[in-house]
Amino acid sequence: MSVFFSMLEDRARKTGSLLCVGLDAHPADLAAPTAQAARDFCLRLIEKTADIALAYKPNAAFFEVYGAEGWSALAEIIAAAPEGIPMILDAKRGDISSTAEAYARAAFETLKAQAITLSPYLGHDSLEHFIKDPEKGVFLLCKTSNPGSGDLQDVTLAGADFPHTLYEKVAALASGWNTNNNIGLVAGATHPEALRRVRQAAPDLWILAPGVGAQGGDLQTSLQAGLRPDGLGMLIPVSRGVARDPDPKAAAQRFLEAINQERKTLAARTPAAAAEPEVPPALAEGLLQAGCIRFGNFTLKSGIQSPIYIDLRQLASYPALLSEVAQAYLPLLKALKYDRLAALPYAAMPIATAISLQTGQPMLYPRKEAKAYGTKADIEGEFNEGETAVVIDDLTTTGGSKFEAIEKLTSAGLKVTDVVVLVDRQSGAAEALQQAGIKLHAVLTLTRLIDYWEKTWRIPAEQVQAVRQFLEVQPG
């Protein structure tokens, strides 16, 4: 199964294009106000720009106006896209329950579009039927390009710890909902400052940025505001600027060259260290959504009283999030030398299994207690004496549980020099392990997670403050 935005990124890298050709069959541009004329108009644009466009965006309204004949014409146009070029149905749907399911079936099964624009204002349950298939993408209306968008989208939310708008809240929520890597945002090129803030709130998401050209949006300013540091992450839809040119192919080529010239300029200014965000937004948000992070007053295994509790055992019930967590370990593991993954019971066992399935690396695990029957083994899984095992765990606090497991592993003849966890709670484990000659590697630290959640307004200020005060008194 291919994930929608992974496919889009692959095509963007192969073609060097971020241009989305809008298939807006305005009646004024047609030979006659008929479904057949609308069909012919759009098919000509596809034929002229197929080697330039990253995607196409037909507007449903210009076909629905012709009734059943228009609907048939729209289906033909979507089917005419060359293989690998997604059709984004610009329909701006938004409803719940069986109605949303019917809209999703119409877009993805009847019309066979690869993506659709949606209104998110009915909440997450209005999106579920559209995002359940990772091969299908959605673009959520966030900060639209029309002048009246500010009537609602610019409203400052009450009770915020510092001013932020409704559209920024939508962007932050979308990052958390993007567990299948098939959610993007719509943010107009006509509002460059808002586009910049949307990018800040959703660092990884793809943004469909309408408004360049006829609506007055500036291409250079928009790219500066919305591109990710890797030069991707934006689709620039252009409709009239291509369709109304006597030579649509030449017009599309000019837009492409202008986009890529600005991408090159920005790449030259971007420090290499900024290529990846510190905290993967979908991962940080997914942990909250899955209930892996809780706030209150908790007693940890070490006896420490904590205002935050991290329970990654929940990952077993969220396979997409579990897969994403496993992927987050891979960059750290690639830098290490080892023969086996050693998962610590119990929370790390699903994580290490997912890593093993993704990499093909063998796994073993030390039992919490030796079997009282059969082989009476302390360690399950095959290994050879003298091999190196990298310890995989979910998180670390003081490091106590790591030492118990490491002792079993080394007693069996394995070498252990590294421990890799998802979250370091920064309560002294790194220092304790270092004294024993073992290095701790963490995908995330509690500080970075809290900084991210504060920046995206995902947790109340009093919870942020409580965790920060807790960290200040910890040994780490």
Whole-number Å distance between alpha carbons of 438 and 417:
5
β-bridge pairing 305-310 and 379-380: unpaired
φ and ψ at residue 433, rounded to 5 degrees: -65, -40
Task: Collect all residues with Cβ–Cβ distance below 8 Å to 66 and sequence separation of at least 6.
Answer: 34, 35, 38, 73
Amino acid in the structure at residue 450: I
Task: Collect all residues with Cβ–Cβ distance below 8 Å to 176 and sequence separation of at least 6.
Answer: 281, 282, 284, 285, 286, 288, 289, 458
Task: Collect all residues with Cβ–Cβ distance below 8 Å to 381 and sequence separation of at least 6.
Answer: 340, 362, 363, 364, 365
CA dihedral 62, 68, 73, 76 (to 10 degrees): 130
Enclosing H/E stretch for 180: none
Which pair of tokens denotes residue 195? 């586009």
Task: Collect all residues with Cβ–Cβ distance below 8 Å to 71 and sequence separation of at least 6.
Answer: 63, 64
Among candidates 276, 274, 229, 288, which has minimal Cα distance to 423? Answer: 288
Whole-number Å distance between alpha carbons of 132 and 104:
10
3-class SS letters over 220-255: HHHHHHHCCCCCCCEEEEECHHHHCCCCHHHHHHHH
Which pair of tokens denotes residue 318? 């969220």
CA dihedral 312, 316, 317, 318 (to 10 degrees): 80
Active site includes 143?
A: no
Question: What do you get for the CA distance between the two ends of the chain, in Å?
Answer: 42
Q: How far is CA 454 from CA 172, 309, 397, 427, in A?
A: 11, 17, 22, 21
Choose the catalytic residue: 14, 48, 57, 92: 92
Among candidates 331, 218, 335, 343, which has minimal Cα distance to 275? Answer: 331
Which pair of tokens denotes residue 122? 């009915």
Give me the active site residues, please.
92
